[in-house]
Amino acid sequence: MMKKSRLLFLTFIFLPFCLNAQQDPLYNQYFFNQAMINPAYTGLNNVFNTTAISRLQWAGIDGAPTTNTLNVSSSAFKNKVGLGASLIYDSYGINSNTEFNIAYSYKIATPTGDVFSMGLQAGLVNINYDYNRLTLQYVDDVILNNAQASVTEENFGVGFWYMSKDYYVGLSVPRMLDININDGGMESTRYRRHYYLSAGYVFDQLFALKFKPSILLMYMDKDNYAFDVNASFLLNEAIWLGASFRNFGTVGLNTQMKVGETLKLGYAFELPVNNTALTGFGTHSLMVSLDLELLGRHGLGRRFF
């Protein structure tokens, strides 16, 4: 077990030098708050919302990925506009990324009560490598000595969202600009834009149950993508219970519990099933979400998306 952990740790350590570009952090609880991947979701539900999500991937492995996200948003100006901000801290091995964004959305209501939202976001992304964490036999490696340890770049994102009382469809590119970094002798791309497509539907006529299937496609290129399929049941308007599959190689269970009218608590667990090196190392995610009526036109009510 110790040898396996060391091998996996070395994999995370040298991952930045082997890949052309890293992928966005993987989220399991996106179906409870999509503002983290789509600025058009900002202020969508006509309340003030703050959501915190902490995700530990492959628990038990040194240097495994961890992601902490804080998102704050609110509708404003007669609920026609959404305003928000997000802070993301993501780390794995010697690499850590910090990102801050502000977001704006504009909502258009259709005669049938559906909502179409367009969103923009802008922010800064810092990518940092702590080479002091490396234990090397030789410390005079020219590439490492000249490598750029940190880079901060601006970025911009765009998103679109269409929602009725029964379904939603979202399309977004949350970070549109590539990020390049000097690796000690050459410049390489550390981040490339990702495209997100999400959709979900609620079957609301199942007695005391509500059933919500949903999908999320994250695409960078033909070799770098993630496809999630999720199915959730809402019990007694208070507890969500669901299961998910990512690339048909990772299975997950998730739940969300409503506490009163304002507080929601969530937990998700994932386990790879087709990777023998990682089988047995689960992924855990915790979520806390708070809805408040801070402005005159805000209103708490049941919502499925």
pLDDT tens per residue, range 123-174: 999 988 877 776 666 556 555 555 667 888 899 999 999 999 899 999 999 9
| pLDDT of 79 strictly over 90 | yes
pLDDT at res. 18: 39
| pLDDT of 7 strictly over 50 | no
Question: Is there a domain that residue 299 lies in?
Answer: no
Please write the tens of the pLDDT for every residue from 273-296: 877 666 667 889 999 999 999 988
| pLDDT of 187 strictly over 90 | no
Question: Is there a domain that residue 302 lies in?
Answer: no
Mean pLDDT for 115-122 is 97
Mean pLDDT for 4-16 is 39
pLDDT at res. 190: 73
Domain span holding position 197: 2-292
Q: How many domains does the chain have?
A: 1
Compute the distance between CA of residue 219 and CA of residue 97 in angstroms, rounded to an integer. 20
Question: Is there a domain that residue 301 lies in?
Answer: no
Mean pLDDT for 174-179 is 89
pLDDT at res. 261: 86
Question: Is there a domain that residue 266 lies in?
Answer: yes
The CATH number that applies at residue 157 is 2.40.160.40
Q: For the chain, give the mean pLDDT.
A: 84
| pLDDT of 195 strictly over 70 | yes
In sequence order, the 6+-apart residues with CB closer than 8 A to the CB of 226 are: 23, 26, 216, 217, 218, 246, 247
Where is pLDDT greater, at 127 or 6?
Answer: 127
pLDDT at res. 222: 82
Question: Is there a domain that residue 300 lies in?
Answer: no
Amino acid making up residue 193: R
Could you tell me the two tokens for 35?
């503002």
pLDDT at res. 138: 59
Going by the DSSP 8-state scheme, the letter that residue 106 receives in this structure is E
| pLDDT of 20 strictly over 80 | no
Compute the distance between CA of residue 148 and CA of residue 131 in angstroms, rounded to an integer. 10
Confidence class of residue 3 from pLDDT cuts 50, 70 and 90? Answer: very low
Q: What percent of the chain has pLDDT over 90?
A: 50
Question: Is there a domain that residue 298 lies in?
Answer: no
pLDDT at res. 302: 77
Question: Is there a domain that residue 198 lies in?
Answer: yes
| pLDDT of 102 strictly over 70 | yes
| pLDDT of 248 strictly over 90 | no
Question: Is there a domain that residue 181 lies in?
Answer: yes
pLDDT at res. 14: 38
